[in-house]
Structure 1
Amino acid sequence: MEPTASFVDAMRAQPENLARARETVLRDLASAGLPRWDAGDSVAVVAMGASLNSSHALVAALAAAGHPASGVVASDLADGLAVVRADHNIVVSESGRSPEPLAAARKLAAGTRIGISNFPDQPIRDEVDAVLGLGGFPDSPVYTSGFTATILAYALLLDHVGVYEGAAEADRIPGRVADVLRDYAEAAATVGRVLATAKTIDVVGRGASLTAAAELSLMVREGLRTPSAAFETFQYLHGPMEVLSDDDALVIFGDGREVSIPSSVLDAGVPVVLVTAADPATIPAAGHANLTVVPLPAGLGVFERAIVETVIAQLAIAAAIEHKPYPLEEFLYHQDDTKLPVR
């Protein structure tokens, strides 16, 4: 079986696991023989679950560099509900054994498929043209290290193929995560109490910050057993927010339109958490009793920020579970077809 760890242990081990992932990805890139990507080349990320959530950071970085990119639900591609004609396809499966990404990879053109996996010797190796390993470290059932390591791998991959200067970010990420784990515990405890008492939790972000928003929503559902959904910022304003009440909570990641969203719901008693690098003076509702602002360091790169926001979310989940009568690691419902056998 794959090595596993508790959520808190895997979360705390991320600086070391990310350093290992950096070394492993660099080694695999050196031997993969990947060509430089041409200007405007298109990219698809094919994945399921948490791995698909990670794709938002990659798509944002590629869009900024002028490359059309999208995240694709692997089961849609495998079953013919989606068609992908990208120049480069990134197939992500942390376990290397998720059947949907493996089946989807068979629908993609040979020579275009790059795999990313914590266990690259599993069946994913047979379905892609090159695979980047993350290091084979133990991870938690609600993914922690594998999720952030995948984002680090994106930074190194894009740097290697010449479309985004991600190597410097990847160098900083292990230390940056160590700083977050040390410095955000108090803020996370506050956010954790908000999450633990809410009946439903909406999570909002856009661009690279949709990575953490989508992943926090999934962790809330998997770990806290609380209904939750993630939304792109402007999409959220077109109706989904209308269900909010003082029994719910709203978590927002971002520095743009995100900073003014709380103003419309705080007086209705909705607890709001805003994770932002915005100047406090630009937050209209700063100081409101129902608003918790979690400030981010300035100057973070695209992948660096996605990871920092995600680790803050992990800390909040770890704090929230302290208010629940069950562990994060105990899933209620088990499916026997989401992983192929370990080989």
Structure 2
Amino acid sequence: MERINYDRAVRDQPINLERAHRSVLRALDSAPIEPWAPGDTVAVVAMGASSHSAHALVFALVAAGIRAFPLTASDASFYAHGSQPADHYVIVSESGRSPEPIEAARHFTRGRRIGITNVADSPLAEVVDVVLSLGNFDDAGVYTIGYSATLLAYALLCGRACDRSAEGLPEVPNRVAAGLEEFDAPAHRMAEKLRDTRTVDFVGQGMSLAAASEGALMFREALAIPTAAFDTYQYLHGPMEPLRAGSGLIIFGDGRELTLVDSVLDAGVQTCLITAASTSDLPRPTHENLEVIRLPDGVNGFVRSILEGLVSQLIVGHHAAVSGRVPGEFTYRQADTKLPVE
């Protein structure tokens, strides 16, 4: 796997999602996966961008009656030796070289460890029982394709492990291709609105918390803008108080999110709403401080999560262009966040 230009990585997603779809299905066809039943507990173990994608899988499983929680891989080292926090484990690392998930996997129950990685023969593959490879495609230094493909892998895994097949998965590459066209102009306008903002908050609930968390990480990594991510209702309990002119707010959702948007527009907050709600449901859809990006009708679950993430990716790309940033060129590099390539 090589590091490629950020914009190319974003634009190449349709073809690479087709590749990931084929690769994960091949792996699932021969994988000895024990079914996840109501009453079982599933832990999604990851770091970084992968840990943000975990919110989508967790909320999908909870809605299906299966206990699930995201587990930051480094936190697993604090469990007492031999303890098992879950019945099943999904261990995620796009590179397959993040040391924390690899070390955590060593201590989890054998036969219950499913690894999701872009690189089939990575170190992660050596410490799990089933490897779901995304297809070994190239990605940017700020992950784009890998994030989207991980969400697709979650959806396919749910179809196998808990018989909860998501609708529309074969159409994901076409949906993303259409989104690249439809979302591009409003994403560019939003990037212009955010040109002079000092902070940006990201807000969403349920599966949309994945897009909010990942969007906040991408803005920090690619644009060096301070950000934070919140569950919608948690945001109402105080964290929104610093919003002022000079603040940015990116919101995912169709419910309470709509009135949240309306409450901040007159304060000069540059706001983007990513929603499937109709324009008639929005209090002030043409306000000068608001950009609305509508998701396609009838798109839900993991497919919606992928499209929500795509919006943030496009905004980041346009903002980088107007601000002179190069996504993937990091000021601070940490030598211990990846195992060395042999």
Q: Give the shorter-chain TM-score range.
A: over 0.9
Alignment of 1:73-152 (within 5 A): 73-80=72-79, 84-152=84-152
2:175 maps to 176
Shift of 1:288: 1.8
Task: Deviation per CA, 1:255-287: give whole Å up to 9, x if none.
Answer: 011011012211111111111011222222322
Shift of 1:211: 1.1
Q: Structure 1's 81 and 100: CA in aligned 2 closer, same or farther, altered over 3 A?
A: farther
> What SS does structure 2 have at the residue aligned with 1:274?
strand
Task: Deviation per CA, 1:178-226: give whole Å up to 9, x if none.
Answer: 1101221111111111233210000000111111111110010000110
Q: Structure 1's 286 and 84: CA in aligned 2 closer, same or farther, altered over 3 A?
A: farther
Q: Are 1:44 and 1:84, in contact at CA under 8 Å, matched by a contact in 2?
A: no
Poorly superposed stretches of 4+, deviation over 6 Å:
none
Task: Deviation per CA, 1:3-46: give whole Å up to 9, x if none.
Answer: 11111011111001100000000011111121322233211100
Q: For 1:9 and 1:132, how far apart are their aligned partners in 2?
A: 24
Equivalent position amino acid for 1:96 in 2: G
Q: Are 1:260 and 1:285, in contact at CA under 8 Å, matched by a contact in 2?
A: no
Q: Is 1:57 matched up with 2:56? A: yes
Task: Deviation per CA, 1:84-130: give whole Å up to 9, x if none.
Answer: 52121100000001000011112211111100000121110111111
1:278 maps to 277
> What SS does structure 2 have at the residue aligned with 1:239?
coil
Q: For 1:103 and 1:169, how far apart are their aligned partners in 2?
A: 35
Structure 2's unaligned 5+ residue stretches are none
Shift of 1:177: 0.4
Aligned residues: 341
Equivalent position amino acid for 2:209 in 1: L
2:208 maps to 209
2:12 maps to 13
Q: Are 2:139 and 2:145, in contact at CA under 8 Å, matched by a contact in 1?
A: yes
Q: Are 1:98 and 1:338, in contact at CA under 8 Å, matched by a contact in 2?
A: yes
Provide the aligned C-alpha RMSD in A.
1.4
Q: For 2:63 and 2:53, how far apart are their aligned partners in 1?
A: 17
Equivalent position amino acid for 1:142 in 2: V
Q: For 1:185 and 1:325, how far apart are their aligned partners in 2?
A: 19
Equivalent position amino acid for 2:255 in 1: G
Q: Are 1:61 and 1:164, in contact at CA under 8 Å, matched by a contact in 2?
A: no
1:291 maps to 290
2:325 maps to 326
Equivalent position amino acid for 1:104 in 2: A
Alignment of 1:258-277 (within 5 A): 258-277=257-276
Equivalent position amino acid for 2:105 in 1: A
Identity of aligned residues (%): 48
Q: For 1:22 and 1:195, how far apart are their aligned partners in 2?
A: 35
Question: What TM-score do you get using the length of structure 1 for normalisation?
Answer: 0.96
1:236 maps to 235
Q: For 2:131 and 2:217, how far apart are their aligned partners in 1?
A: 26
Q: Are 2:37 and 2:66, in contact at CA under 8 Å, matched by a contact in 1?
A: no
Q: For 1:327 and 1:35, how far apart are their aligned partners in 2?
A: 44
1:31 maps to 30
